[in-house]
Amino acid sequence: MYDYSAQIDAFHGNKVVLSKKLSDNLTSHRTANEDRLIKRLPELKDGVRVSRSSFKSQGSFAMRTIIQTKFSDEEYDIDDGVVLWRSDLEDEDRNDMTSSDAKELVREALKDSRFKRQPKTHTNCVRVFYAEEGEEKHHVDFPVYRKWETSVGDDVTTHRELAGGDGWVASDPTRVNSWFENEISIRNSASEGAGTQMRQCLRLLKRFCRSRSAWDMPNGMKLTMLTVECFESGGRIDSAFRDLLDSLHSRLRRNLKVENLADENTPRQKLTRTSADANMIELRDRLEEALGKLKVLDEKDCTKKDARQAWDWVFKSDGYFDDYDGDDDDDDGSGGSSGMKRGIATATPNKAVDPKGGGRFG
């Protein structure tokens, strides 16, 4: 297979992973809203216990699989669950607060006169909007949970429920994140860097799926489950990603249904609605198309130009690969590039920012 790994690695670092500046900006807005809830929730309802530990980062930002947006109508989605004690969400007669009332309480606490658009209650969260001039469009979602404990002897069980559209629903705000990080660790332990490469390939898969605005593709949760199910580590990033696409296509030809692999119940939660959801069919068909374009990489006389055109079709790189290769289409047999003749630096690509580390929550 023609070696285009340097270009794919640079593309991932510069055009897929969030920059530290943007990640820090998103983190600061999340933290500001946490501060607002810590201060205002006890003011709005006596006795509410809320602290920094009440917040549970969720979703792609927490998992470090969030990617740069490509189109103007896309928004960065930051999920930050707030977990409150059930006993604090009761009225004077010890009646439970409804899920709608709990979300409204959080919405009131998040209001701020500086917002151009005040927070809004959605089915499973309260959303805070950010679309300020000069900033990337994004929002911070606060799913609202209640928790309580029961004990049998020395065994204590913590119960958690999400404030949904039709009442309180059993849900663990950290289950998917913990499961995913465990999958990363297992693979890294089995083969150095394998789990890290899986995370990189998931980001690249998301970038492929969002490369065309006209495509109807599965959401990030489904893509995460499929990647963990189908990924097998490879040496180079380009070959590992191509292998993932091939494995995904074979899997979807057999079965288009996706389950929540983090669900410990039997049967597991179904993420697809039917056995043939339209977006799953489109993913299968687009994967077949992409694999067809990439066949040229296996030809003995494949050139750098051939490889560039194939990978550019996959990612719609908006000229990135052209700029990387510059005017150099000479091949030395390795497929590598002397690259970047038109000003795109590869020495310091963006690194995935740990939301728990520098900058404080992908």
**What is the average pLDDT value for the chain, to the nearest integer?**
90
Pick the CATH number of 23-173 from 3.40.50.2300, 3.30.460.90, 3.30.9.10, 3.40.190.10: 3.30.460.90
Predicted confidence (pLDDT) per residue in 219-229, tens digit: 999 999 999 99
Tens of pLDDT, residues 306-353: 999 999 999 999 999 999 999 777 665 455 444 444 433 343 456 555
Q: Check pLDDT > 60 for residue 200.
A: yes
CA angle 29–31–32, rounded 5-degree value: 65
Q: What is the pLDDT of residues 50-106, one digit of tens each?
A: 999 999 999 999 999 999 999 888 899 999 999 999 999 998 889 999 999 999 999
Domain ranges of the chain: 5-16+177-325, 23-173
Classify 30 as helix, strand or coil. Answer: helix
Q: Please give the pLDDT value at position 92.
A: 84
Partners of residue 84 on adjacent β-strands? 146
CATH architecture for segment(s) 5-16+177-325: Orthogonal Bundle (1.10)
Identify which has the larger pLDDT, 277 or 354. 277
List pLDDT tens digits, range 109-157.
999 999 989 999 999 999 999 975 455 789 999 999 999 999 999 899 9
Q: For residue 357, what pLDDT band results from cuts at 50, 70 and 90?
A: very low
Q: Dump the DSSP string for 307-356.
A: HHHHHHHHH--TTHHHHHHTT-----SS------TTS---SS------TT
- Mean per-residue pLDDT, 255-272: 95
